[in-house]
Structure 1
Amino acid sequence: MEHVAFGRTGLRVSPVTLGCMSYGDPARGAHPWSLDEESARPFIRRALEAGINFFDTANVYSDGTSEEIVGRLLNEYADRDDIVLATKVFGRMRPGPNGGGLSRKAIMTEIDHSLRRLGTDHVDLYQIHRWDPRTPIEETVEALHDVVKAGKARYVGASSMYAWQFAKALKAAELNGWTRFASMQNHYNLLYREEEREMLPLCADEGIAVLPWSPLARGLLTREWGAETERTRGDAFGGTLYRDEDRAIVDAVGAVAEGRGVPRARVALAWLLRNPAVTSPIVGATRPHHLEDAVAALSLELTGDEAAALERHYTPRPVAGH
């Protein structure tokens, strides 16, 4: 696997990231479909064998147990210096007025808890998990800068927000000499392309790595329309992101996949990877073929006609996922 530049930094990452929201205690948090440690083990091992060096989790996934499981398995199977480990901060982790958010107190508290759960003295990428309207962005960016200077994170990143908000965060860092955001983890796939209007051009212009989450639209792009899984039945957030009109796009993915003789997931990921602004889509894996399809998509080149067929039915829609 050929690794790619992480935005304007010197860091090199795999062109596919293993999203670790899928791994955690299913009895804790909001992901009852998540895999426990023994079930997650083969996926971490196979990802490493395939050349994936980038692993993304968050403090809030499965109430912190995702970090615990991912940390233990990576410590078992990998050399810490060979992997790029990312986590996030923002979501509520405990009751009380300071149990979440992006205040200095929350960030300084949560980085230490994340490091303890992950079993490491630093993360490679520390990301704000959304925009916090209650905290001045200057407070957040300075706190992140201090986390980096303390050696607890190597780079900082952001996730879904409006482009004007991200521009404001970048400017705050520039004006004060604080650590610059290196990445944007945003909602982008064939069923949700609103990021093409402002966020992706901003990231391309600023040299920001783009790490799309839900690149397969919670699995909708991998199967026939209307098919249910254990995750779709328990994924309340996913139910707010897409709409019935998306069936035409899903059918187009199926047609291209049938014509190529490959699984739909490979086609949907190959389309995403055509965009030069995209650095490394975050792919979840709960079955062996999920990882195999993600890796195989790297070598699938769609024709212009195929890409046009996939894009033809898209219509503008409200912002979703912030």
Structure 2
Amino acid sequence: MPRTPLPSSAKDYTPAGLDRKNIVDVRSEPDTELARYRILSPKAGVRVSPLSLGSMSLGDQWTGWMGGKLSPNESEKLLDAFYEAGGNFIDSANNYQDEQSEMIIGEWMEKRGVRDEIVLATKYTAYSMYRKEGRQKGVGVNYMGNHVSDSLKKLRTSYIDILYVHWWDYTTSVEEVMLGLNDLVREC
């Protein structure tokens, strides 16, 4: 097959298959206010919907305690409605609905194939199912990795966009927690 000759100068060069009008991705106005994304932090460049969907009620393990409950099917309908309206920022925690909330979100993202479109925040805390197993001793470095690893599995993802310490345990120093969080970021 003969090779296409190179242009004689840069002014004659046009990349194959590129329409010069579409070099800059100009987006149309969003359909909803929820789709009018904002920069979450000037140092991170993360674009999020103006409202985050809190997921404390996604699941049915907390009957009548701290909020509400939605069956997994109802939870998926809520997630669909939020996403279809332009929402992309979901907040969860390792202990919501005795860990069911993260599982529902993970299954939903996997079924829809939307993980890369979602800004996913989750929290870890000493108050979780670990207390039943005797594994949990606080929010320190020794347990931070367990929490994050378990959340990644439940959320069916290889990364978490934002990680919060949910409740302070008052036995772990600020320095230990911050160094541990920094180490987690460096591991990614």
* TM norm structure 1: 0.44
Structure 2 match to 1:148: 185
Unaligned runs of 5+ in 1: 152-322
Counterpart of 1:126?
A: 163
Question: Contact conserved, 1:5 with 1:11, CA < 8 A, in 2?
Answer: yes
Amino acid at match of 1:7: S
Instruction: Name 1:207's counterpart in structure 2.
Output: none
Task: Report the 3-state secondary structure (helix = DSSP H, G, I; strand = E; otherwise coil) of the residue aligned with 2:123.
Answer: strand
Q: Does 1:13 align with 2:61?
A: no
Give the RMSD, CA atoms, in angstroms. Answer: 2.1
- Match in the other structure for 2:122: 87
Q: CA deviation at 1:11?
A: 0.8
Segments of structure 2 that go 5 or more residues without pairing to the other structure are 1-34
Partners of 1:104 and 1:139 within 8 A in 2: yes
* Residue 50 of structure 1: aligned partner: 85
CA distance in 1, matches of 2:64, 2:127: 11
Maintained 8 Å contact 1:13/1:53: yes
Which whole-Å deviations, capped at 9, do the CAs of 1:220-262 have from their partners, x for residues lacking one? xxxxxxxxxxxxxxxxxxxxxxxxxxxxxxxxxxxxxxxxxxx
CA contact (8 A) 1:22 1:35 kept: yes
- Which residue does 1:179 correspond to in 2? none
Query: 1:26 aligned to 54, 61, 68, which one?
Result: 61
Q: Is the 8 A contact 2:126 2:169 kept in 1?
A: no
Larger helix fraction of residues: 1
Give the counterpart of 2:109 among 74, 81, 99.
74
Q: What is the deviation of 1:28?
A: 7.6
Cα distance change of structure 1 residues 90 and 6 upon mapping to structure 2, 3 Å threshold: same
2:107 is paired with a residue whose SS is helix
Q: Letter of the aligned partner of 1:71 in structure 2?
A: G
CA deviation map 1:111-165 (0-9, x unaligned): 00111111111111111103332101111011111111222xxxxxxxxxxxxxx
- Preserved contact between residue 45 and residue 77 of structure 1 (Cα < 8 Å): no
Contact 1:20 1:57 in 2 (8 A): yes
Between the aligned residues of both structures, percent identity stands at 33
Provide runs of 4+ in structure 1 moved above 4 Å: 27-32
Give the total of aligned pairs.
151
In structure 2, the residue matched to 1:116 is: 153
Check conservation: 2:60, 2:69, Cα contact below 8 A: yes
Say which of 70, 73, 91 aligns to 1:35: 70
- Kept in 2, the 8 Å contact 1:23–1:36? The answer is yes
CA contact (8 A) 2:52 2:90 kept: yes
